[in-house]
Amino acid sequence: MAIARVGSSEKVYSPNKRSKRNAYLLLAPGLLWLLLFFVFPLLNLAETSTKTPSPTFETGEFVQSFRFANFIDAFLANQAQFYRSFTYALAATIIALAIAYPLAYSIAFRSGAWKNFLLILVIAPFFTSFLLRTLAWKQILGAEGPVVFILKFLGILPDGATITATAFSVILGLTYNFLPFMTLPIYASLDRLDYRLIEASGDLYANGATTFRKVTLPLSMPGVVAGTLLTFIPASGDYINAQLLGSPDNFMIGNVINSRFFRVVDYPTAAALSFTLMTTILILVIIYIRRSGTDELV
């Protein structure tokens, strides 16, 4: 505690109070940003979700009637899209995990001097826009693209068959676009792993498979959980891949929300669907984190 003398009076300055005040000042810009661009829009979305069309039936005119049945009606009318969204997101997450873990493991333990270069290659897709990357996959998977040509040449794909406008192409697009979000957290966990623990496992006569199962995988689970969440959550609400790589039969709930907001101009339904999607994802995330034993991520 510091004491400053001013004339005959003494003032006591508490370092703890000063540090708390500085902490609040540092947090203020971030809290203000969240308040303006997250809390207020979320409250506005909640207020919109319970509105009903104006009695004049003018397009885009709604009045507040606190109709909470909007949530039930919106969900029942779009159950298939909800189910499809979570199915596609789960499939993309599993495929991305199967690709990302060996990739991250190789970069962390086997890349040597090439580690930084390989990490740049992982994040290189971020140098171009999400839309352009998806359009590129539309060309690659198109009827005149190299993938269809090779599959037909090998006799795997019959003549007249296509890959685009299918669930496979949508899941493939989701996997590709969100693969870096899976790879980087896993790599971070593996790179922080104390290699002496792996050596100790070998000293205790554990083979490579046992060492991976008993040491490497458990210690890298925080990265796996973070990667799966960073992949599953945005993939569930995505609509670009379904719009460009799929057909109306492959549309996800994000496509419905986008259409309700910008084409149909049905703001209450779009807001209700958005809240339902957010709530469902939040519940699934909490259950997943509790089950995975990484509660500190909540």
Mean pLDDT, the chain cut into blocks of 10 residues (298 residues total): 50 64 87 92 93 77 91 95 96 97 94 91 91 92 86 84 90 95 95 87 84 90 94 95 93 95 92 94 91 62
pLDDT at residue 59 in the model: 64
Decide: 106 and 122 in contact? Cβ < 8 Å.
Answer: no
pLDDT at residue 11 in the model: 52
Tell me the whole-structure pTM to 2 decimals: 0.86
Decide: 261 and 90 in contact? Cβ < 8 Å.
Answer: no
Nearest residue to 186 (alpha-carbon basis) of 118, 107, 285, 291: 107
Give the ranges where the chain is alpha helix by DSSP (H). Answer: 15-34, 40-49, 69-77, 79-109, 115-123, 130-140, 146-153, 167-191, 195-203, 208-211, 217-219, 221-237, 240-245, 253-262, 267-292
pLDDT at residue 298 in the model: 45
pLDDT at residue 149 in the model: 87
pLDDT at residue 18 in the model: 76
Q: What are phi and psi of 207, to 5 degrees?
A: -80, 180
What 3 state SS string does 229-264 have?
Answer: HHHHHHHHHCCHHHHHHCCHHHCCHHHHHHHHHHCC
pLDDT at residue 209 in the model: 87
Decide: 252 and 242 in contact? Cβ < 8 Å.
Answer: yes
Report how far residue 16's alpha carbon sits from residue 97's, in angstroms, rounded to the nearest whole number. Answer: 45
Report how far residue 82's alpha carbon sits from residue 272's, in angstroms, rounded to the nearest whole number. Answer: 13
pLDDT at residue 57 in the model: 63
Domains present along the chain, CATH in parentheses: 72-297 (1.10.3720.10)
